[in-house]
Amino acid sequence: MAAECFEVAAEWITVSFTEASPMREVYGFAGGQGRIHLEGVRFLPVGRPSRTLVIYMHPASTLQLLPVPRAMAAAGLHVLCAGSRYARNDTPLILENVLRDYAAYVAHAREIWGYDRIVAAGWSGGGSLTAFYQAQAERPTITVTPAGDPVDLSHLIAADAMIFHAAHLSRCQVLADFIDPSVLDEEDPSRRDVELDLYDPRNPHRPPYSAEYLARFRAAQLARVRRRTAHVKELLAELSAGGSRERERGLLLHRTLAEPRFLDGHIDPNDRRVGWSFLGDPEMANSSPAGIARFSTLRAWLSQWSIDDSRAKALDNAPAITVPLLVIENSADDAVPQPHSRLFHDAAGSADKQFAVIEGANHYYAAQPEELDRVVRLTIDWLGARGLID
């Protein structure tokens, strides 16, 4: 099947379900009127039926514009790019709620479309989400969010196989690795510690960074994340004790792309371009309005960004996963740290698991048709060998 090339039909789909909530999380109609409305795109190879659906889901993006899902469909797979209720807006994102959204798509795929087999494919930020979903579907343990709000995850339907593709270990781990520890005042990001500012020419510490400096830097990053978490918990406690109907507030976090790996190719070396990142120039991205975790609600902070509170950490969820697993690392990935894929593979509970590296591939397969073709062929061969495709 990998040698074939099908015309691809793109079909916009909607899935909705009832969910009562005392507070509206998202602006607009998506989460209003007691209903959750989800949107996605199903890619269908024209003239090729299938009993298997591959689902790509990311917490805050629909992924239909990426090259991989469409290329998979062109090779003959039925593919769904599923958007959560927080698509294009991760400010209020509660990952436990996204698991409910994921389950709605899986139920729709089985009950309405009639697919017999579901393959949960987690790319980039979707990797830890997919691991979280599969772990809870196989071994449910969660009844409340990290903020203590009840959440019903009893109806999750496990996938039949899982793909962890160019994926990091969690949003909270990414933030802990990316956050700028030089910020001395959360209200005034211009006040910074020169020796912890990677982009300040006065900083005497330059690449290649010493082990001592990296240890100091990482400790300062973790301390900043934890200070912010303590602030969030204090605000939530104040709101709870305040006696009013106010339940949430917004949070602004400055400077969140100070990752030494982007400037020093000796740290977790791979084939990535040094001095660059998946968001472009790392110095500019550090203060960009579109930065990692730039805006967040209090509850969303605990669910997705707090290193000590988020449950969506892939390494924590990996042991509960037992279905066949394919882990793919891109050797020139300029977003996902090099060790993450192997760490997840080794921690997974699956008896049938395979690790593969796509040499030279960057995070998005941007302008890389040969690397894209290799990963498509790898995926289809892996699925076919396990009888997961027709």
Same domain, 12 and 133: yes
Cα separation, 330 vs 364, in Å, equals: 9
Tens digits of per-residue pLDDT, 214-256?
Answer: 999 999 999 999 999 999 999 999 999 988 889 999 999 999 9
> In this structure, is residue 32 part of a structural domain?
yes
Q: What string of DSSP letters covers 268-325?
A: S--SPPTT-BTTBSHHHHHT-TT-TT-EEEHHHIIIII-TTT-S--HHHHGGG--S-E
Same domain membership, residue 260 and residue 111 = no
Question: Which domain range does residue 245 map to?
Answer: 180-270+283-293
What are 282-340's pLDDT values in tens digits? Answer: 999 999 998 999 999 999 999 999 999 999 999 999 999 999 999 999 999 999 999 99
Residue 184 and residue 139 share a domain: no
Q: Does 364 lie in the same domain as 226?
A: no
Domain check: are 233 and 354 in the same one? no
Residues 3-31 have a mean pLDDT of: 80
What separation in angstroms does the CA of 356 have from each of 78, 341, 363, 375?
22, 9, 15, 9
Find the range with the poorest average confidence among 2-11, 40-49, 134-143, 202-211: 2-11
User: What is the rounded average pLDDT of the residues 352-372?
Assistant: 96
- Are 137 and 202 contained in the same domain? no
When divided into structural domains, the chain yields a total of 2
Do residues 139 and 63 both lie within one domain?
yes
Query: Residue 23 domain-assigned?
Result: yes
- The shares of helix, strand and coil residues in the chain, as percent rounded to the nearest 5, are 35, 20, 50
Residue 347, in any domain of the structure:
yes
pTM of the entire predicted model: 0.95
**Considering the domain boundaries, does residue 159 fall inside one?**
yes
CB atoms within 10 A of CB 12: 9
Q: 105 and 154 in one domain?
A: yes
We report the CATH number of the domain holding residue 91 as: 3.40.50.1820
Statement to judge: residues 108 and 166 lie in one domain: yes
Quick check: is 1 in a domain?
A: no
pLDDT at 34: 80
SS3 254: coil
pLDDT for 2 equals 44
What's the pLDDT tens digit per position in 25-79? 765 555 556 889 999 999 999 999 999 999 999 999 999 989 999 999 999 999 9
Same domain, 288 and 207: yes
| 255 part of a folded domain | yes
Both tokens assigned to 140? 């449910």
Q: Please check whether residues 123 and 222 belong to one and the same domain.
A: no
pLDDT-derived band at 22, boundaries 50, 70, 90: low
Q: Is residue 278 part of a domain?
A: no
Average of per-residue pLDDT values in the chain: 95
Residue 41 lies in a domain: yes
C-beta of residue 16 within 8 angstroms of C-beta of residue 36: yes
pLDDT at 242: 86
What is the pLDDT, as a whole number, of residue 1?
Answer: 44
Q: Tell me what pLDDT residue 329 has.
A: 98
